[in-house]
Structure 1
Amino acid sequence: MFDELLDRFINFLRVEKGLSPNTLESYSRDLVGYLHFLEARGITEVLQTQTDTLYEYLKTLRSRDLSSRSQARALSALRSFYRFLQEEGLRTDNPLLPLQSPKPKRTLPKTLSGMEVESLLNQPRSNSPRGLRDAAMLEVLYAAGLRVSEIVSLTLDQLELETQLIRTVGKGSKERLIPISSLALRRLEEYLASGRKPLLQGRSSPYVFLNHRGRRLTRQGFWKILNQYSRQAGINRPISPHTLRHSFATHLLEGGADLRSIQTLLGHADISTTQIYTSVTSEHLREVYRRYHPRA
């Protein structure tokens, strides 16, 4: 019964809500964890659960030392699930309504300095197919502020090289047009002209960035490439593809770009998500003040 309901719910989120595969996987994992909690207490009917049971589940999550963000996501998955059951006519109430989600602790995004970005992007020096690919990939990631899922799923028909634009599909299947720098355009053209065909190895693929077998580069593959060049650049702390996205937004804001434009470029549905970068630049200003003001 639960497996059938879960499949219907996940399919609803995929088709009707357009949620990403990663979000769907997280929701599914959270709901399976909830089912195990119910089974351990001898509760076999998910349609009959009440608020007090859910309150106990929330206490269990807290006792596992999960982050407030993970707790909030698990509760969000359950709230959406019970709302779905209501809409399907399987329940008349949502037992989660009286419960408040834990507020995620807001952490400042980690960014690179302009010099660190410059050093990182200069690392791929080889004119081999992989070297040309890596140079183009890193340059485009920073130039456009893409998510890693967006760059590895980028297809040839999303490139508008004549107008120096990229069409990308982000969260919620929302499409946006992003300009790229002249340098990113040049790196991309060099890769498409001399690097991509050898990587294809006689295959055909709609994707821009390919692995050595001619298939679409994976998120994990991209992460490994980025970390290799990060070490070569002397960046002695962990970074991720999202670090470059954060750096893109922060550097734009520091350069005078307005928040609304950055929101559009990043594809944020809510400007409050973008406003976190104002905290980053404020912290940067405080650090400059502390370091250089004679009486700081």
Structure 2
Amino acid sequence: MDHALRDFLVHLKTERGLARNTIESYRRDLERYVRSLREAGVTEPEEIGTEEVARFAEEEARSGLSARTLTRRHSSLRMFHRFLVEERILGKDPTAVLLSPRLPFRLPHALPLREVEKLLEGFPALGAIGIRDRALLEFLYATGMRVSELTGFPARGLSRREGYARCLGKGGRERVVPVGRRALAAVEVYLDRARPLLVRGRKTEALFVNHRGAPLSRMGVWKILRRRAREAGVEGKLSPHTLRHSFATHLLEGGASLRDVQEMLGHSDISTTQIYTAVDRTYLKEVHRTFHPRG
């Protein structure tokens, strides 16, 4: 069974081009599944049937996990068994018995524009670290990048003359995202005055680096955002993804088309982008309430 799981994880990396963190999530989910199968006396993939899948799903449901976690684990099982069928290790997919719990609909959390401006301008951009942090937050909001895309973004991916960033997204898909003039100006100051002091002659491809000149980690970006938000007086639960949500929401509020926002976000399916139209409708309702004579 272990060799089948290993082959699947290699498939996710080499053929699907999934991110390391995504693959790690699949590995954790499926190791639990393989362990459960082994305890039930199932040691080879060919022995898996609907009964084994249903038993594991019941065990998971009784463990008190959230609906979101259960749904993710069911998705991992489906992907794994689909792979086994494609490789002709299994004759049919036994995960048809899985019924994932219904998830509550949650709108993405976006900051109001005034709060974004407060965040970007509400802390002193002093010294190499301050200049870097201002450039990083401006760049995140200007491009709508995922934090994993930002930490892997190379300096050569930015065209300063054209004002574009060439980004490698999920599944190894490349997209070109415009960088606004304010973000570009902040990044140029960082490249000219701060980054050389941080890298200190080291050969580092990453655009944004830490105080040792190494690429920033995901956690490093989180800490920067939270520290600067606290200094700027921006309250509430914030994450780098909040700026991505704000990027999409503000573009739609400003009149951008759903297709354009889809392309800039790097969504392969427009239905993923459509969730932001609900946020936009909330904004329109507020506009109506404020300005309509009988609102």
The aligned counterpart of 2:115 is 116
Tell whether the 8 Å contact from 2:124 to 2:130 is kept in structure 1 after alignment.
Answer: yes
1:207-244, CA deviations, whole angstroms, 9 ceiling, x for partnerless residues?
A: 11000111000000010000001112222211000000
The aligned counterpart of 2:232 is 233
The aligned counterpart of 1:160 is 159
Tell whether the 8 Å contact from 2:45 to 2:89 is kept in structure 1 after alignment.
Answer: no
The alpha-carbon deviation at position 76 of structure 1 amounts to 1.7
How many residue pairs end up in the alignment? Answer: 295
Identity of aligned residues (%): 45
Tell me, in whole angstroms, the C-alpha distance in 1 between the residues paired with 2:190 and 2:158.
Answer: 13
Q: How does 1:40-59 map to 2 (within 5 A)?
A: 40-59=39-58
The aligned counterpart of 1:94 is 93
The aligned counterpart of 2:270 is 271
Amino acid of the residue matched to residue 156 of structure 1?
A
Tell me, in whole angstroms, the C-alpha distance in 1 between the residues paired with 2:19 and 2:268.
Answer: 14
Q: Unaligned regions of 5+ residues in structure 1, if any?
A: none
TM-score by length of 1: 0.94
Tell me, in whole angstroms, the C-alpha distance in 2 between the residues paired with 1:152 and 1:131.
Answer: 18
Tell me, in whole angstroms, the C-alpha distance in 2 between the residues paired with 1:99 and 1:235.
Answer: 43
Q: Describe the SS at the equivalent of 1:166.
A: strand
Tell whether the 8 Å contact from 2:140 to 2:150 is kept in structure 1 after alignment.
Answer: yes
Tell me, in whole angstroms, the C-alpha distance in 2 between the residues paired with 1:156 and 1:106.
Answer: 38
Q: Describe the SS at the equivalent of 1:177.
A: strand
Are residues 103 and 20 of structure 1, via their aligned partners in 2, closer, same or farther at CA, if it must alter by over 3 Å? farther
Q: Name whichever of 118-127 and 286-295 sits farther off.
A: 286-295
The aligned counterpart of 1:175 is 174
The aligned counterpart of 1:243 is 242
The aligned counterpart of 1:79 is 78
Tell me, in whole angstroms, the C-alpha distance in 1 between the residues paired with 2:289 and 2:137.
Answer: 33
Tell me, in whole angstroms, the C-alpha distance in 1 between the residues paired with 2:266 and 2:4.
Answer: 32
Amino acid of the residue matched to residue 52 of structure 1?
E
Tell whether the 8 Å contact from 2:57 to 2:98 is kept in structure 1 after alignment.
Answer: no
Q: Describe the SS at the equivalent of 1:163.
A: coil
Are residues 288 and 59 of structure 1, via their aligned partners in 2, closer, same or farther at CA, if it must alter by over 3 Å? farther
TM-score by length of 2: 0.94
CA RMSD of aligned residues (A): 1.8
1:155-186, CA deviations, whole angstroms, 9 ceiling, x for partnerless residues?
A: 02201111000000000111011111111111
Tell me, in whole angstroms, the C-alpha distance in 2 between the residues paired with 1:90 and 1:42.
Answer: 18
The alpha-carbon deviation at position 291 of structure 1 amounts to 6.6
The aligned counterpart of 1:11 is 10
Tell me, in whole angstroms, the C-alpha distance in 1 between the residues paired with 2:59 and 2:86.
Answer: 28
Tell me, in whole angstroms, the C-alpha distance in 2 between the residues paired with 1:80 and 1:69.
Answer: 17
The alpha-carbon deviation at position 293 of structure 1 amounts to 6.6
